[in-house]
């Protein structure tokens, strides 16, 4: 146990750069306060989104209050937090447990598997606390203040905050441990793991949506149940039942609260026990040999000569390098591609299972909504370019290999064009999704599809160039596990927020200025607005590239 | 070939002078060995020569081009092998070599000839289709070496190149360095293996605490020190 605690302390120091921060504070205050400034800028940048969420929380509280169940606001926030912890936790746990670079140092030490597992788990858990703060605390505060709760509420609230991510995170760990053990025997580990990961998530989401279905013919009883005492809470908590227990523990008072609180505590404890039990049996089996890769077939002289003779331009060589690295690194692939295959599924399954899609399909097929639907399709491509961290972590992902980019005789501008080419190619992965969407719902004509593609590509331009610009200005190269290049990289968040602001500007231009002028003006406005914004970031990047490539130290 | 003048670099706001007003000239056709204790400033100097670090002051000119003013012209004519071969783990060996062939603009036929030759020389042909992540340290070192030699650099700069290489590969590398210089090109490398420096180098420079404390042929170094025997004794005497 002591070893686990010591190791956890070390992991937190390394993982959150605490030792480095202390060093910078003493020896390079400018860098330290610069870092603090960036954190403040990020907080300020996400403030508008946070305020929107706060209003939503207050709105939910008001509506739920009218139904006599204001506590549903807590359940909602807890379900949302737990969902985020679980979905992202799967990738984070896999990365921290199996792909961290310090594992070859830790495994030969006289430590139990549970010591390493526990320490790594602590690291992921602390970052999850930071993740759920903006989602859970507003609900806790809004409910507490508006309902005039006493000291006990706040104390239990703090306890529940600390318990909240435990269950989804131990669940993610308990799913990952056997997955990695089973897939470690495969020759193509990375591929099998990626398929296993996506399959597992799809299964969990599908099962959840199946369980959430309202039984046909029982709609009236269903609504009645919802309006009954705590009905909304239990409906909301079907995705994550412990949220209902936590809500009752916080709000009911008396024996009921103690019972539910004890249930939550017991389940969290059981989750940890299950994790350590499986960890002792499966962790090393999944880990040991995870760095082994099977030896591929030896190339014959002819094939080797053929491969060597294939030449391409430096731009395409860089784009190809980026694509190969992304495809072959499960964590990058999951973050940049996998999540965007899953997101539409997550969004569509509940709507489809509740029969909610039919009126939506009727609406989007009507001619009046056509402009909106076409712009929606284009916006999907733009948002995919913005949300996939492919561009906003492009420099950071090079990590310690960035020395190669610095010494090769390829002008930085050309290297950046290679990164842009790769980011656009990735964005085009939205096309199959759009085609499926078109076939199932909107039935775009070929002309409309081309229009959507053209506008989508234009919208991807400012998203990609701004994301690359942000990452070029402050790349995070000193990481020890590939997940950190994305997860602990503030650039991903900064680029999303700044890119979102760009899209908002285009929306304002179209909605306030061009909407009345007709469809053609709207399309032209979106296209030209996006290209103009994209060019600003692109030209700024080209202007700064030489100096940045010279100054970035590896 | 290499002209370094007044080169300086310090860390911690000038508190630690890693390289202090360094002057150095290396001619064409010369193998130059760069020696010094740990932390003397060897790697910092090399990183500034290849454009990985920005100097605080001074200039580095290679083949007549200033690395600060015309970095691309310098990079086209040099090759660099770092002390720690960090390469793209998720590419196969052949993909990495092809990538470097593309960015250095090595035409297909020459690339085929060079890659085949060096893969055989360093006995890496069998592993070239595997992902780099499966390579040992020495194999990665060989891969970086091969990549660095594809475009026949005028100046070949290496930081601790022998570390991790097996004796045969190490010997092959030394032979290649000699051939490379015999054709009028230049090799600049740092090492801690004094026997290698003594036997291989035309001239040797010794750096300590960021300053060049001795430079010349073995004979010249012997005249500069009291101990006239081995390079090891000279090194120990000068760096004490």
Quote the minimal CA–CA distance from B173 to chain A in Å.
Answer: 21
Do A308 and B94 count as a contact with CB atoms less than 8 A apart? yes
At residue A264, the pLDDT reads: 87
At residue B139, the pLDDT reads: 94
3-state secondary structure A336-397: HHHHHHHHHHHHHHHHHHCCCHHHHHHHHHCHHHHHHHHHHHHHHHHHHHHHCHHHHCCCHH
Identify whether A302 is part of a domain. Answer: no
Q: What is the pLDDT of residues A446-484, one digit of tens each?
A: 999 999 999 999 999 999 999 999 999 989 998 877 877
Do A304 and B128 count as a contact with CB atoms less than 8 A apart? yes
Identify whether A280 is part of a domain. Answer: yes
A413 interaction partners in chain B (CB closer than 8 Å): none
What's the structural domain count of chain A?
2
Query: What backbone torsions phi and psi does residue B192 show, to the nearest 5 degrees?
Result: -105, -5
The region of weakest confidence among A25-29, A289-293, A361-365, B26-30 is A289-293
| Whether residue A468 sits in one domain with residue A338 | yes
Reading the block at residue A282, the tokens are 């499966």
Closest CB to B103: pick one of A297, A317, A400: A317
Q: What does pTM read for this prediction? A: 0.77
Q: What is the pLDDT of residues A296-335, one digit of tens each?
A: 667 777 777 777 878 899 999 999 999 999 888 877 887 7
> Is the separation of the CB atoms in A335 and A389 below 8 Å?
yes
Mean pLDDT for chain A overall: 83
Specify the DSSP class assigned to residue B69. Answer: T
CA A55-A56-A57 angle, 5° bins: 90
Q: What is the pLDDT of residues B208-225, one digit of tens each?
A: 999 999 899 988 888 877
Chain pair A-B, CB pairs under 8 angstroms: 114
Best residue in A26, A304, A409 to probe B by mutation, most B CBs within 10 Å?
A409
Q: Which residues does A contribute to its contact with B (CB < 8 Å)?
A: 27-28, 291-293, 295-299, 304-305, 307-314, 316-318, 320-321, 324-325, 328-329, 399-401, 403-404, 406-411, 550-551, 553-554
| Whether residue A403 sits in one domain with residue A273 | no
Do A406 and B51 count as a contact with CB atoms less than 8 A apart? yes
Which chain B residue lies closest to A400 (C-alpha atoms)?
Answer: B86
| Whether residue A455 sits in one domain with residue A545 | yes
Mean pLDDT for chain B overall: 91
Which chain B residue lies closest to A554 (C-alpha atoms)?
Answer: B52
B125 interaction partners in chain A (CB closer than 8 Å): 304
Do A296 and B130 count as a contact with CB atoms less than 8 A apart? yes
Quote the minimal CA–CA distance from B229 to chain A in Å.
Answer: 39
| Whether residue A30 sits in one domain with residue A98 | yes
Do A305 and B75 count as a contact with CB atoms less than 8 A apart? no
Residue A437 in this model has a pLDDT that exceeds 60: yes
A292 interaction partners in chain B (CB closer than 8 Å): 134
Q: Of how many residues is chain A composed?
A: 554
Q: How many CA atoms lie within 13 A of B114 on its CB side?
A: 23
| Whether residue A363 sits in one domain with residue A278 | no
| Whether residue A458 sits in one domain with residue A343 | yes
At residue A243, the pLDDT reads: 83
Sign of the alpha-carbon dihedral angle for A137, A237, A262, A252: positive
Q: What is the pLDDT of residues B140-175, one digit of tens each?
A: 999 999 999 999 999 999 999 998 899 999 999 999
B102 interaction partners in chain A (CB closer than 8 Å): 311-314, 316-317
Identify whether A299 is part of a domain. Answer: no
Q: What is the pLDDT of residues A288-302, one digit of tens each?
A: 765 555 566 677 777
Given A251, A271, A287, the domain boundary residue is A287
| Whether residue A236 sits in one domain with residue A385 | no
Identify whether A295 is part of a domain. Answer: no
Quote the minimal CA–CA distance from B88 to chain A in Å.
Answer: 7
Range of the domain at A404: 314-551
Average pLDDT (B118-143) is 92
Specify the DSSP class assigned to residue A247. Answer: H
Quote the minimal CA–CA distance from B85 to chain A in Å.
Answer: 9
Classify each residue of A128-137 as buried b or exposed e, where b means 16 or more C-beta atoms within 10 Å of its C-beta.
beebbeebbe
Instruction: Report ipTM (2 d.p.).
Output: 0.91
Classify each residue of A484-505 as buried b or exposed e, where b means 16 or more C-beta atoms within 10 Å of its C-beta.
bbbbbbbbbebbbbbbbebbee
Range of the domain at B110: 2-43+51-239
Identify whether A323 is part of a domain. Answer: yes
Residue A359 in this model has a pLDDT that exceeds 70: no
- Percentage of residues of chain A with pLDDT beyond 90: 29
| Whether residue A126 sits in one domain with residue A58 | yes
Q: What is the CATH number of the domain that holds B75?
A: 3.40.50.300
> Is the separation of the CB atoms in A130 and A12 below 8 Å?
no
| Whether residue A336 sits in one domain with residue A417 | yes
At residue A221, the pLDDT reads: 64
What's the structural domain count of chain B?
1
A293 interaction partners in chain B (CB closer than 8 Å): 130-131, 133-134
The region of weakest confidence among A65-69, A380-384, A468-472 is A65-69
| Whether residue A93 sits in one domain with residue A7 | yes
Identify whether A74 is part of a domain. Answer: yes
Q: pLDDT class for A345, splitting at 50, 70, 90?
A: low
At residue A339, the pLDDT reads: 61
Please tell me the distance from the alpha carbon of residue A237 to that of residue A84, in angstroms, as a whole number: 14
Residue A214 in this model has a pLDDT that exceeds 60: no
Q: pLDDT class for B195, splitting at 50, 70, 90?
A: confident
| Whether residue A422 sits in one domain with residue A374 | yes
| Whether residue A348 sits in one domain with residue A230 | no
Average pLDDT (B118-147) is 92
Q: What is the pLDDT of residues A223-262, one digit of tens each?
A: 566 556 666 676 666 667 888 888 888 887 778 888 888 8
Average pLDDT (A281-291) is 74
The burial of B226, by beta-carbon neighbours within 10 Å (0-12 exposed, 13-18 middle, 19 or more buried), is given as: exposed
Identify whether A492 is part of a domain. Answer: yes
Do B134 and A295 count as a contact with CB atoms less than 8 A apart? yes
Please tell me the distance from the alpha carbon of residue A129 to that of residue A457, in angstroms, as a whole number: 37
């Amino acid at each position: 146990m002591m070893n686990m605690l010591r190791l956890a302390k070390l992991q937190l120091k390394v993982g959150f750069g605490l030792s480095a921060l202390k060093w910078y504070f003493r020896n390079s205050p400018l860098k330290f306060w610069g870092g603090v400034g960036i954190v403040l800028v990020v907080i300020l940048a996400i403030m508008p989104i946070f305020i929107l969420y706060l209003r939503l929380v207050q709105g939910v509280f008001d509506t739920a209050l009218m139904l006599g169940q204001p506590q549903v606001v807590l359940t909602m926030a807890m379900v949302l937090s737990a969902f985020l912890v679980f979905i992202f936790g799967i990738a984070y746990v896999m990365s921290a447990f199996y792909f961290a670079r310090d594992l070859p140092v830790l495994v030969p030490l006289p430590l139990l598997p549970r010591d390493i597992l526990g320490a790594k788990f602590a690291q992921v858990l602390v970052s999850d606390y930071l993740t759920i703060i903006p989602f859970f605390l507003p609900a806790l505060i809004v409910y507490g203040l508006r309902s005039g709760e006493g000291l006990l509420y706040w104390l239990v609230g703090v306890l529940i905050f600390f318990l909240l991510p435990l269950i989804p995170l131990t669940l993610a760990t308990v799913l990952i441990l056997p997955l990695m053990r089973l897939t470690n025997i495969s020759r193509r580990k990375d591929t099998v793991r990626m398929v296993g990961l996506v399959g597992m998530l799809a299964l969990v989401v599908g099962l959840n949506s199946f369980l959430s279905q309202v039984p046909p013919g029982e709609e009236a009883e269903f609504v009645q149940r919802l309006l009954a005492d705590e009905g909304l809470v239990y409906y909301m908590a079907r995705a994550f039942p412990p949220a209902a227990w936590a809500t009752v523990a916080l709000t009911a008072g008396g024996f009921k609260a103690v019972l539910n609180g004890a249930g939550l505590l017991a389940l969290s404890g059981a989750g940890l026990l299950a994790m350590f039990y499986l960890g002792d049996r499966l962790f090393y089996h999944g880990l040991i040999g995870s760095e082994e890769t099977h030896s591929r077939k030896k190339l014959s002289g002819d094939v080797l000569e053929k491969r060597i003779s294939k030449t391409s331009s430096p731009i395409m060589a860089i784009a190809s390098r980026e694509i190969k690295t992304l495809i072959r690194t499960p964590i990058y692939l999951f973050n940049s591609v996998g999540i965007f295959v899953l997101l539409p599924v997550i969004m569509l399954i509940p709507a489809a299972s509740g029969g909610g899609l039919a009126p939506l399909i009727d609406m989007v097929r009507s001619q009046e909504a056509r402009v909106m639907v076409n712009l929606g399709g284009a916006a999907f491509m733009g948002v995919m370019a913005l949300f996939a961290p492919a561009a906003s972590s492009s420099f950071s992902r090079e990590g310690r290999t960035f020395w190669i980019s610095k010494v090769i005789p390829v002008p930085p501008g050309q290297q950046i064009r290679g990164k842009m080419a790769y980011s656009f190619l990735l964005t085009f992965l939205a096309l199959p999704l759009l085609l499926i969407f078109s076939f199932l719902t909107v039935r775009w004509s070929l002309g409309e599809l081309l229009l959507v593609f053209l506008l989508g590509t234009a919208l991807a331009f400012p998203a990609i160039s701004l994301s690359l610009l942000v990452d070029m200005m402050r790349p995070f190269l000193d990481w020890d596990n590939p997940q950190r290049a994305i997860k602990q990289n503030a650039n991903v968040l900064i680029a999303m927020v700044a890119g979102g602001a760009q899209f908002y500007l285009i929306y304002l231009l179209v909605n306030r200025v061009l909407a009345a002028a007709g469809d053609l003006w709207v399309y032209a406005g979106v296209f030209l607005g996006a290209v103009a914004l994209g060019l600003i970031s692109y030209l700024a990047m080209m202007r700064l590239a030489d100096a940045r490539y010279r100054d970035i130290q590896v | 070939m290499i002209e370094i003048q007044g080169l300086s670099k310090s860390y911690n706001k000038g508190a630690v002078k890693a390289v202090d007003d360094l002057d150095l000239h290396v001619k064409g056709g010369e193998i130059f060995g760069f020696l010094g204790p740990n932390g003397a400033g060897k790697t910092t100097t090399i990183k500034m020569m290849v454009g990985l670090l920005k100097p605080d002051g001074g200039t580095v000119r290679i083949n007549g081009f200033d690395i600060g003013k015309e970095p691309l012209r310098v990079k086209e004519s040099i090759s660099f092998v770092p002390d720690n071969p960090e390469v793209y783990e998720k590419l196969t060996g052949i993909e990495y070599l092809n990538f470097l062939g593309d960015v250095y603009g090595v035409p297909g036929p020459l690339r085929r000839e060079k890659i085949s030759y060096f893969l055989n020389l360093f006995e890496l042909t069998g592993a070239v289709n595997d992902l780099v992540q499966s390579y040992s340290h020495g194999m990665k070192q060989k891969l970086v070496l091969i990549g660095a030699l594809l475009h026949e650099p005028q100046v070949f700069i290496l930081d601790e190149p022998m570390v991790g290489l097996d004796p045969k590969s190490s010997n092959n590398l030394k032979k290649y360095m000699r051939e490379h210089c015999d054709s009028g090109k230049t090799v600049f490398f740092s090492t801690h293996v004094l026997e290698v420096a003594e036997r291989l180098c035309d001239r040797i420079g010794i750096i300590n605490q960021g300053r060049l404390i001795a430079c010349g042929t073995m004979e010249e170094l012997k005249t500069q020190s009291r101990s006239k025997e081995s390079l090891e004794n000279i090194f120990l005497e000068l760096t004490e």
